Structure 1
Amino acid sequence: MTTDTASRTTVPRVLLNKVPEVTIWFWLIKILCTTVGESFADWINMQLGVGLVATAIIFTVVFAAVLIWQFRTSRYRPAAYWLTVVVVSVTGTLYTDILTDQLGVPLWISTSVFAVGLAAVFGIWWTRERTLSIHSIVSRPREGFYWLAVLVTFALGTAAGDWTLELTGWSPGVSVLLPLALIAIIVGCWRMGANPVLAFWLAYILTRPLGANLGDWLASPKVPDQGLGLGTLVTSVIFLGAILATVVYLTLTKADVIEQHEHRERTPKYYRPHRELPLVGVMAAAAVAAGILLNWASAQPHANAAAEEEGPNPAASKVHLTSQQATAHFPASDVAQFRNLVQGMNTALAKGDPASVNNGVDAYEKAWDDDEDKLKPLDQTAWNYIDSQNDALFTSVRKTKDPAAEKQAVQALLATLG
């Protein structure tokens, strides 16, 4: 958008621009940050062992601290800015996970809520400032609107990306292609003259599912059509290292510093006002095509569709396996991790501590789901058998909330896991 804001007098203080120039470096490090947001959030949640809500609270405090640092800077500083992006990426992912895993909110609802929330942020921002361009983040109110929008875009991108996986059952590698194709269309429209602010924010949202799916592909077990088997820790370390190297380079070279700091909008490079409406139509058509593709994919048989109804698997309930039969083909380290988590639930039940039981169930479910792609191909019968017992446990803790049923489910699972 090209509205000149130099004449506005409501801005209390003019600052140097607090955000980087949008170059190839910007998009590279943004994708690196979103990948870290997915893999590091998963790893931290498992390692802290305090439950999803407590982990989210911890990262909310961290986010507030780094945001204060970012606000206290007088100009764009790569270290402060990109650390804030990394932390907001993890925090936004955790917020979406709480809605989905803790509160049971369907992904289509959380996606819709975050989309409406983002539209509200943009609406208030535009009404007050008459611009949404990141080339004009030169006041405290604009900086506040910017970071609020960034937080909501991360949450929205996470929910939309997970909803896509739920609908389609695609593997992480295949799932990367949809946001990548949509981003390519947006870039093409921008080069042909589309509104640069609209193109920027659409691409910004889409880099979240792109980076998340990329992280899942790298971290997922090395089985056919799944991933490279690096794990969440190795993936996080690789990408955090790449972010650090890029930030050091940008700090030394100042390659992404906006030199033109005047309190006005910059002239967009490719923007052609007479092409704006037709190119909006092109992007809308791409969105409709993506919707049709997702609708078609959701109608095809896939694992997620079969698993939508939570509850004991009727086929698995007719099978009885000994502990040795149930765990013989699974890695001992994974079985030990599951057993320790379930033992923790058993201890919490004995102490009459329902909060710890709930946290233990969340951690166990996360660990089990993360290992599904690795374990299921090794022994599908055993996997289905344990998964059915898991469903009985989840139902007793989250729905019936009957202490006797919870104890029975936990002890049955302990017996199976040895």
Structure 2
Amino acid sequence: MEKLNNAVAKVPEVTLAFWIIKIAATTLGETGGDAASMSMSLGYLVSTLIFGVIFLVAVTAQIKADRFNPVLYWITIIATTTVGTTLADFADRSLGIGYAGGSALLLGLLLASLLVWYRTMGSVSVTTVSSSKAEMFYWVTIMFSQTLGTALGDWTADTEGLGYAGAALIYGGLLLAIVIAHYATRMPRTLLFWAAFILTRPLGAVVGDFLDKPIANGGLAMSRYGASIALVLFILVCGTLFRQRPAKVSH
């Protein structure tokens, strides 16, 4: 039987700082993924393989760690969002599934992951992520959510013609609705957490595209490298200013 930590988990406490860093990390995943697949001309498949290896190394280190390490945790999150960017682009564009088809497929995989996790562990709350098995479910679910978010962001901004700013307003509005629901209703906190976690990804995707896409396409035409470096620095500053504590474990 796995030894559980009765006080803390290896994932961070969910605070305002957590969400700020999460949005910045998902935006970095978009600019970083595009930098590799487009600016470096590696293509979606090669970039996905590279980031996939980085993700596997990071998540293995995260699962093997014996305590919460904020640096390792956020490196793993960034790895999921970069590989999610290139993987979604590969499925949507190279395989010809399209944004709507890719979003539907990934939503199904995400819901299946949450269902299997719940049936196996009895809960999908982050406060129960205190064993290797729960952590594996946690990271698989995050991987699907990050990839889904990329497809959703591209779908709303491009296919639906809302543009990057319009799509950002929609996802920002949905996140605001979740915040209101958190404070004004008794909706399950776990449901609200995963809804917010999923929605931060398309928000980050469209913000990342807004930063680096050509002006003619509605972007700011920033260098993908420059935008990625700025986001890394922002995450480092936030991580330094706002101390992150591990979530308390519930059983």
Which runs of structure 2 are paired with 1:274-289 in the superposition (5 Å)?
none
Map residues 28-107 of structure 1 onto 2, 5 A cutoff. 28-107=20-99
Map 1:185-264 → 2, pairs under 5 A? 185-192=177-184, 193-222=186-215, 226-250=218-242, 253=243, 255-258=244-247, 260-261=248-249, 263-264=250-251
- C-alpha distance in 2 between matches for 1:165 and 1:215: 12
SS in 2 for 1:18: strand
Q: Is the 8 A contact 1:221 1:231 kept in 2?
A: no
Partner of residue 114, structure 1: 106
1:198 maps to amino acid: L
Superposition TM-score, scaled by structure 2 size: 0.93
Among residues 3, 9, 16, which one is paired with 1:13 in the alignment?
Answer: 3
Change (3 A) 1:87 1:186: same
| Unaligned residue ranges in structure 1 (runs of 5+) | 1-10, 265-418
Shift of 1:222: 4.2
**Shift, 1:71, TM fit:** 1.2
Tell me the secondary structure at the aligned position of residue 230 of structure 1. Answer: coil
Shift of 1:51: 2.6
Distance 1:128 1:166 in 2: 38
Q: In the comparison of the two structures, how many residue pairs are matched?
A: 248
Asked if structure 2 preserves the Cα contact closer than 8 Å seen for 1:25 and 1:256, the reply is no
Q: Which structure is larger by alpha-carbon Rg, 1 or 2?
A: 1
SS in 2 for 1:43: helix
- The answer to whether the 8 Å contact 1:219/1:228 transfers is yes
C-alpha contact (below 8 Å) 1:48/1:55 kept by paired residues: no
Residues 144-165 of structure 1 show CA distances to partners (whole Å, capped at 9, x for unaligned) of 0000000000111111111112
Residues 158-169 of structure 1 correspond to what in structure 2 (within 5 A)?
158-169=150-161
Structure-1-length-normalised TM-score: 0.57
The superposition leaves residues 163-206 of structure 1 with CA deviations (integer Å, 9 ceiling, x where unpaired) of 11233212212221000111111111111221100001011111
Distance 2:58 2:24 in 1: 18
Alpha-carbon separation, structure 1, partners of 2:38 and 2:230: 19
Amino acid at match of 1:211: G
* Equivalent position of 1:176 in the other structure: 168
Instruction: Give the deviation of 1:47 after TM superposition.
Output: 4.3
Matched AA of 1:239: L
Rounded to whole Å, the distance in 2 between the matches of 1:226 and 1:194 is 37
Task: Flag the structure with more relative contact order, 1 or 2, with Cα contacts below 8 A and sequence separation at least 6.
Answer: 2
Q: Per the alignment, in what secondary structure is the counterpart of residue 120 of structure 2?
A: helix
Kept in 2, the 8 Å contact 1:26–1:256? The answer is no
Q: Secondary structure at the match of 2:67?
A: coil
Q: CA RMSD in A?
A: 1.7
